[in-house]
Amino acid sequence: PINNEYQLDIDGVENFDFVDLPNRKLTIIEKTITYEPTNIKEIIKNDTITQTLMPGQGGTSGRALTILIAQDRKGTPCVNEVIYLQMLKDKRVYTARTNKDGKAEFLLPKGKKYMIHFRYKKDVDVIDLSRSFGIGYKSKSVIYTPSDKLQHPEKYIPKPEAIFTDQFFNFINKQFERPKEGEGVIAYARWGGDINANSKQAVLQLTFTSETPPDHTIGPPLNICLVIDKSGSMAGYDRIDKLKLALIEYINKLRPDDIISIIAFDNYQKIVLPAQKVGIDKKQIKDAIERIYADGGTNIYKGLVYGYQEVLKNYRKGLVNRVVLLSDGYGSDDVDSTIFMSKSYNAKGVECSAVGVGNDYNYPMLKSLASSGGGLIHFVGDDDSMTKAFLEDLSSVLVPVAKNVKVEVTYNKHLLFAQLMGYPLEQKSDGKINFKIKNFFSGLDQMAMVKFTLIDPTKDIENIPVTITLRYTDARTNKPIEKITTAPLKWSETTGELEYLLDLDQKKLYATAVMNQSLKVMAEAFQVGDRTSAKAALENCMAEMKKIYPQATEGQVNILMEQMQEYLEILNTIK
């Protein structure tokens, strides 16, 4: 039929070509197609495909000859290294070894994207054949820097300061009322359950909530630079596309007088948007974001330098002067040099926050940048909730509410302090403990749990409440604030032997807190060479989890359980 366009599929190759028939009667259209069939020997084992290419093999109509050149940072060829090309949105993996020149050849189906992995490094870069037509050919150079995490599993045991406790802080019951505008931070305190004469333990949950400014209409003006990792690994799993959608949504929330700049980096850095006021018409900013595409390596150092310089162009006190790094934190640059450079700009008054993208981040690296930069660290995964999570997290780190937050807990003679979970213990004396939270940002919740041993409890314990004193400096008025909350225990004669966590949400929270604390104990023991104590910390915790939370299927609980099991397996394999 005339006046139609037709897709041509040949020998299993979809959309090989097309023909457009005009709206003319009695017309003959002749179409000549160059077709090269694919004849190749492949060994397929499960989802892994190994190919044997003939000398002089070229591309075919359905496949592109793809040559990867692997080198280290100094440009030395990586010889006899296995390369894995994982077809995105598919389980198939193509594998080959590099030759003496660091080259590996593949004959890959066109119309697909492939993530590049090595034995000791995942998500290195992406081969994009989605727009490959005709007799295809593709060549790409990649830098291979083995990951210690994969090459030396024993190094995967984190240092105590790198324990990922954000899962604890983010796992907070949202039933608490958020402070009204101007109220700053509010402390809530509640016990895990009622007690009686048979009770041995009591757990106090402290939740701290901060006010959320509506749509950034309050709070200081922003002078921020978004430093975006656009390396090849960001192309995988649709990370860059989801991130761009989230950024555009975020731009919609900025005010006309806010100052925004955008840097994108791979091996090199590029000023996508020079520092400028957001203004009323945000189309230019959104178009700049749309033009970002992922390819190449990762040099965080260069990206951050340009980001800091853009912020300094409009630096002045009273603004939120901040660089926000969006990356997985893995790069070809030297980590120590990057952190040292970042601190030099922090000393000039420019803060740094980090948003980890994907499901595998260089946590110590991102944590160090954010901690020294006075900002916060947050993570967004690869799932479909990235936009929502990104908006919540990035929005919250930009509006400070309270500084130098200190908490004092005063308790009675029937309580013996046993453990603080969530924060380091700053000071302990008879009947009193103290800890710090540092800074608070809008919309972010924090939580701590205090575990007590009960000493000869009687009903009069209800009349001697625990007192929580919250002290901080209001970040907007710079005035000191003090707030006092009380938490009386409740006596119940009918509870029998105490199950001190009756509420399901309390069980989840307590389980998460205990596991984070055990991970920290494990890390401290391993750091001093005590592998036996490190294993015992994990084994004892997992045994307790079976008692207090036998059905550990909730998201954050399950994540930590799997993490502990992984660390235990590593400890068992270390000789």
Per-residue confidence (pLDDT) for residue 408, from 0 to 100: 96
Helix (H), strand (E), coil (C) string for 17-85: EEEEECCCCCCCCCCCCCCCCCCCEEEEECCEEEEECCCCCCCCCCEEEEEEEEECCCCCECCCCEEEE
Q: Show pLDDT as tens, one digit a residue, over the chain (575 residues).
A: 888 999 888 876 777 788 888 888 888 888 888 888 888 899 998 889 999 998 889 888 888 999 999 998 888 999 999 999 999 888 899 999 999 999 999 999 988 899 999 988 888 888 988 877 777 789 999 988 887 666 666 666 766 655 545 444 444 444 567 788 778 888 989 887 788 888 888 888 888 888 775 555 556 788 999 999 888 777 666 778 888 888 888 888 888 999 999 999 988 889 999 999 999 889 999 999 998 888 777 788 999 999 999 999 999 987 889 998 988 777 667 778 888 899 999 999 998 888 877 655 666 677 778 777 666 666 665 555 556 655 665 566 566 788 889 999 999 988 999 888 777 888 998 899 999 876 677 766 777 888 899 998 888 888 999 999 999 988 778 899 999 999 999 887 655 444 444 455 566 667 777 777 788 788 888 888 888 998 998 898 888 777 766 654 555 566 677 778 878 888 887 76
Q: Which two tokens stand for residue 59?
A: 């591309």
pLDDT at 496: 42
Instruction: Quote the DSSP letter at residue 237.
Output: G
Query: Residue 307's pLDDT is what?
Result: 95
CA distance linking residue 2 with residue 15, whole number of Å: 20
In the numeric block, which tokens belong to residue 501? 């966590």
Radius of gyration of the chain (CA): 29
Cα–Cα distance measured from residue 483 to residue 390, given in angstroms and rounded to the nearest whole number:
32
The predicted pLDDT at position 447 comes to 79
- Predicted confidence at residue 167, as pLDDT, reads 45
- Rounded to the nearest angstrom, the gap between the alpha carbon of residue 272 and the centroid of all alpha carbons in its chain is 23
Strand partners, 325: 227, 354
The pTM of this model reads: 0.60
Could you give the strand order of the β-sheet that contains 269-277, starting from the edge strand earlier in sequence?
269-277, 259-265, 222-229, 320-327, 351-357, 374-380
Beta carbons of 518 and 502 less than 8 angstroms apart: no
Closest C-alpha to 121, from 72, 51, 48, 68: 72
Q: What is the structure's pLDDT at 506?
A: 63
Give the dihedral sign, CA 389/221/172/405. positive
